[in-house]
Amino acid sequence: MPKFEELSVGQQVAQADYKFTRDSLVRYAGASGDFNTIHYRDDIAQAVGLPGVLAHGMLTMGVSVQPVVTWLGDAGKVLDYQVRFTKPVVVPPKGSAKVSVTATIAALDQESRRARVDLTTSFEENNVLGKAQVWVQL
Amino acid sequence: MVNPEIQGKRYPRTPGYLVGREKVREFAKAVMAGPESLDLDYAKAHGYQDLVVPPTFPVVIQEQSLQVVLADPEARIDFSRVVHGDQRFVYERPIVAGDELTSELEVASVKSLGGNHMVTFETKIFDATNQLICTAISTLVVRGD
């Protein structure tokens, strides 16, 4: 567990890169129960005017918090987690889409020993999540 | 078009959902989680009775509640026009494998914005002793005609 006293606002606490493949999307569909076809069928994604098959927003949200969980060493210390979905992650049929996550301390509450960690999740130079904030207990 | 009168509507409590250990592992692998949600010894060493779910796991419960709303003819939500706008999970305590959960969904707000509708749902998740353990808040954007 990181020590609350050693943290400062603006400090980067975690960074990680992830590769989303079509396998990742099929696996997430099964695990979550979200079988919307735009997440695995190219023909349907095209027919509804999308740039391609998209990752589930909830997959991006779920993966983006993992660097923070690894840093904490305990998934149970996440108290509050929110994101806004701003841009899609397009996953090609072959190869992968690289998603990069950076986690930075945005606020510290001395009394409750809680920290707000803000996430930046990018794909092809664009931020795909907005207002991505995690409150953690230290 | 979404029926604005569903604002404030509460849907009946969902049937119990037993959080299975292997389901937690399956979900954890899908969101590329580490030993925090995969390794039972690790969980126990951190003081938990069983595997702790990844932070976004309650979406599985929320999904069940949302299906009820989408199937409600009064709501008039066309799923083919729905885009996920935002999502939040507020925890009262961690969820672990073995928890038996129920949920209650309320339509917190229905707003119109530039021909689209923004519908915010609040799903309260309770354990077997009826204690609130997590609130999932989700906004869907329903594109207009």
Q: Which tokens belong to B122?
A: 């609040």
Is A49's Cβ below 8 Å from some Cβ in B? Answer: no
This prediction's pTM: 0.96
Domain coverage including residue B75: 4-142
- ipTM entry: 0.96
Looking at CA atoms only, how far is residue B8 from chain A in angstroms?
Answer: 22
**Chains A and B: how many Cβ contacts under 8 Å?**
103
Q: What is the pLDDT of residues A1-45, one digit of tens each?
A: 899 999 999 999 999 999 999 999 999 999 998 888 999 999 999
How much of chain A exceeds pLDDT 90, in percent?
A: 93
Is A110 part of a structural domain of the chain? yes
Contacts of A79 in chain B (CB under 8 A): 90-91
pLDDT score at A78: 98
Rounded to an integer, the average pLDDT of B50-75 is: 94
Q: Is residue A38 part of a domain?
A: no
CATH number of the domain bearing residue A64:
3.10.129.10
Find out whether B41 and B47 touch, Cβ atoms under 8 Å.
no
Q: Is A44 on the interface with B (CB under 8 A)?
A: no
Share of chain A above pLDDT 70, in %: 100
pLDDT band at B115 (very low <50, low <70, confident <90, very high): confident
Q: Do A75 and B87 touch (CB under 8 A)?
A: no
The answer to whether A63 and A18 have CB atoms below 8 angstroms apart is yes
How far is it, in rounded angstroms, from Cα A3 to Cα B18? 35
State the pLDDT at residue A126.
95
Instruction: Specify if A68 maps to a domain.
Output: yes
Which of A109-130 are b and which e, b meaning 16 or more Cβ less than 10 Å from the residue's Cβ?
A: eeeeebbbbebbbbbeeeebbe
User: Rounded mean pLDDT of B24-50?
Assistant: 97
- Mutation pick from A18, A35, A69, A70 vs chain B, by most beta carbons of B within 10 Å, is A69
Question: Residues near B44 by Cβ (< 8 Å), separated by ≥ 6?
Answer: none
Q: Give me the number of domains chain A comprises.
A: 1
Query: B54: which DSSP letter?
Result: P
Residues of B in contact with A129 (CB under 8 A): none
- Return the closest-CA partner of residue B107 out of B25, B24, B16, B3: B3
CATH number at B129 reads 3.10.129.10
**Strands B82-91, A126-127: parallel, antiparallel or unpaired by DSSP?**
unpaired
Residue range of the domain that includes A8: 4-20+56-137
pLDDT band at B1 (very low <50, low <70, confident <90, very high): confident
Report the candidate in A128, A45, A59, A40 with the shortest Cα–Cα distance to residue A88: A128
In a domain, A47, yes or no: no
CB pair distance less than 8 Å for A83 and B86: yes
Give the Cα separation of A29 and B80 in Å (integer). 17
Helix (H, G, I), strand (E, B) or coil at A6: helix
A44 domain-assigned: no
pLDDT at B145 over 70: no
Q: Over the range A63-89, which residues count as b (16 or more CB within 10 Å of their CB) and which as e?
A: bbbbbbbbbbebbbbbbbbbbbbbbbb
What local confidence, expressed as pLDDT, does residue A83 receive?
A: 98
Number of domains in chain B: 1
* pLDDT per position as a tens digit, A82-98: 999 999 999 999 999 99
Within-domain flag for A37: no
CB contact (8 A) between residue B29 and residue A83: no
Mean pLDDT of B107-113: 94
